[in-house]
Chains A and B, each alone.
Chain A
């Protein structure tokens, strides 16, 4: 029932640790930095689409 149109998703790495700490995503035509947080509706929908095989998150640059 959340019909977000997510056209791109890419992990972003922490500048010091190199670990993924956010996702850069285009959602309904708008760019967002999305935290890796369960309660965030954007993150929940990204992961739902990943689990459903509808979306792939590109690795972070240098990752």
Chain B
């Protein structure tokens, strides 16, 4: 084909290119930990968590549900199960995701050519009103906020907000947390009193400037849902970039992955109490992971001292590109420098390297 036949706008920066969504799991497809929880933190949909201050009466669920706008199969849903009587000045709750600095170098923050970002998403809530979103630059401790309005109750609406680039502070080029985005569900007056509609030094007072609707947490059975989250360079939102489930899962496993119950691992006895084992990783993790204590027990079999033990702790963790070394403490009964096979028999091994 002659070059003259190729549309010139397809070669320009203004054309829609692939791999432009900076958000992982924006379609809420992946939920490795489970689909429902009554706790805060990362509990259900990967890469999205509830972060909050202490509340008086509030109880809630965070769930992955199949209610979603056309073209999507899942959404993240926050439901208040016990209403807060009133949101005090020092109380706040948001749904947050975070990004690594090395994935944001294209933004040019800290320079005169810092680029704008546009966030688009679908939202649905039983409560209409104005809600805030903060964009927090962790390396520079600076913040900018935007608001959006839910116009119709219990109806999927697509929203889009754009923020300026920040010329005042650069983003570290590393694997640590550099950027947070939080959709405010509730905020007391301590968090809304200072204007942050342009990039400003972070303070409690400007965290959720403009937020004006706390009824989601003060109304039993009130809901707030989100999906189709896309963050892209520029000041125009484009159609959501759908990725395959496998692609999103692999991206999520950089931050959290499960080594399944019934897996077998080769190990080596260390002293009289521990076995060192290497666990292959589905994808390299962002950092050495924490290991939740969820009552693991391993059956060990080898040429001496086979048996089943509850693991008293995992005392050592190093991580390579494709494997994690764990030292599993059985308390006693191990023969030094003896080969073992470990079989996880009671629970999945959960590895978390979230931002």
Contact = CB atoms under 8 A, between A and B. Distances in A.
Interface of A: 1-3, 12-16, 21-22, 24, 28-35, 37-44
B286 A15 contact: no
Contacts, number: 83
B289 A35 contact: yes
Interface in B196-223: 202
Interface in B282-309: 286-293
A35 B290 CA distance: 6
B288 A16 contact: no
A11 B287 CA distance: 19
Contact of B315 (A1, A21, A41, A43): A21
A41 B177 contact: yes
B355 interface: yes
A14 B314 CA distance: 10
B86 interface: no
Interface in B303-342: 313-318, 327, 329
B353 interface: yes
A41 B355 contact: yes
B313 A1 contact: no
Interface of B: 39-41, 51-53, 136, 138, 175-177, 180, 202, 270-271, 273-274, 286-293, 313-318, 327, 329, 352-355
A35 B271 CA distance: 21
Q: Which 8 interchain pairs have the tightest Cβ spacing?
A: A39-B287, A31-B293, A37-B288, A35-B288, A32-B290, A35-B317, A33-B291, A15-B274
A26 to B, nearest CB: 9
Contact of A40 (B40, B52, B287): B287
Contacts of B313: 12, 24, 33
B292 A22 contact: no
Contact of A15 (B136, B288, B327): B327
Contacts of B315: 12-15, 21-22, 33
Q: Which of A14, A29, A32, A44 has the most chain B CB atoms closer than 10 A to its own CB?
A: A32
A59 B52 CA distance: 30
A33 B271 contact: no
Given A3-B52, A12-B315, A40-B288, 20 more contacts: A3-B51, A15-B271, A15-B274, A15-B329, A16-B270, A24-B313, A28-B41, A29-B39, A30-B41, A31-B293, A32-B290, A33-B290, A35-B289, A35-B317, A37-B288, A37-B317, A39-B175, A39-B176, A39-B287, A41-B353
Contacts of B353: 39-41
Nearest to B318: A35
Contacts of A13: 315
A21 B326 CA distance: 11
B138 A1 contact: yes
Contacts of A3: 51-53
Q: Which of B138, B180, B290, B291 has the most chain A CB atoms closer than 10 A to its own CB?
A: B290
B277 to A, nearest CB: 14
Contact of A32 (B274, B292, B355): B292
